[in-house]
């Protein structure tokens, strides 16, 4: 039961990241494709700032919503681990792992149960990843330019 700290976190974070970057890069590519005069120019077109924001926000919303059940399972397992450590011998674990937690939650609360907190997760992740990515892209471009100039 204790063995799930890393696995659960990676299952939730990893699938979020993979999904996020696939959609984010795809949307940026579509923008470049649309703006490019010829196919050869596609990789040289700069994606306009509003489109970076839009791509990041929609990719973040999608990825965080889809992976929300995994994130909930991860949180419940983490809380459970803390409980077990505080009361050794008194409590038996409710969940055996990520899959077990998802199954039990589905049985008790259906899809609504699985997506508990999903709205809040989307509300958090969409601005979080959008601010991170746009700040990151802007900062690195700025720093790279000033370093090359200096």
Partner 1 sequence: MGGGQNNEAYSMMIPNALGSATAGIVSRLFTHPLDTAKARLQAVYNDAPSTTSKTGYTKTRNPYRGPLDVLVQTARTEGLAGLYRGFGAVIVGGTPGTVLYLCSYELAKDRLTEEWESRTHLQLEQSGGDFFVHFASGMIAESICCVLYVPVDVVKERMQVQRVTDQNLYKSSWGALKHISRTEGMSGIYRGTQLCLSSIELLLSYAPLLLLTGRSPPSHLLL
- Report the site for partner 1 in 14-73 (rule: CB under 8 A): 14, 16-22, 24-26, 29, 33, 42-43, 71-72
**Going by C-beta distance under 8 Å and a sequence separation of 6 or more, which residues neighbour residue 34?**
none
Q: Which of 38, 108, 149, 150 binds partner 1 (CB under 8 A)?
A: 108
Q: Which of 45, 81, 100, 106 binds partner 1 (CB under 8 A)?
A: 81
Quick one: 46 or 83, whose CB is closer to partner 1?
83
Residues in the chain: 150
Our finding on whether 1 is near partner 1 (CB under 8 A) is no
Measured distance CA(45)–CA(35) in Å, rounded: 7
Our finding on whether 99 is near partner 1 (CB under 8 A) is no
How far, in Å, are 19, 42, 74, 122 from residue 27 at the CA level? 12, 13, 29, 19
Our finding on whether 110 is near partner 1 (CB under 8 A) is no
94 touches 104 (CB < 8 A): yes
Q: Which of 41, 50, 83, 96 binds partner 1 (CB under 8 A)?
A: 83
What's the DSSP call for residue 48? P
């Amino acid at each position: 039961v204790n063995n799930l700290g890393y696995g659960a976190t990676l299952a939730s974070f990893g699938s979020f990241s993979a999904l996020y970057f696939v959609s984010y890069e795809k949307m940026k590519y579509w923008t470049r494709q649309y703006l490019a005069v010829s196919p050869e120019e596609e990789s040289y077109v700069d994606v306009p700032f509003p489109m970076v924001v839009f791509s990041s926000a929609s990719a973040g919303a999608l990825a965080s919503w889809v992976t929300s059940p995994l994130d909930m399972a991860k949180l419940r397992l983490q809380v459970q681990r803390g409980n077990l450590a505080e009361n050794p011998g008194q409590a038996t674990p409710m969940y055996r792992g990520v899959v077990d937690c998802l199954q039990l939650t589905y049985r008790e609360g259906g899809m609504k149960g699985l997506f508990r907190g999903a709205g809040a997760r989307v509300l958090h992740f969409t601005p979080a990843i959008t601010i991170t990515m746009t700040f990151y892209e802007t900062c690195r471009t700025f720093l790279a330019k000033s370093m090359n100039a200096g």
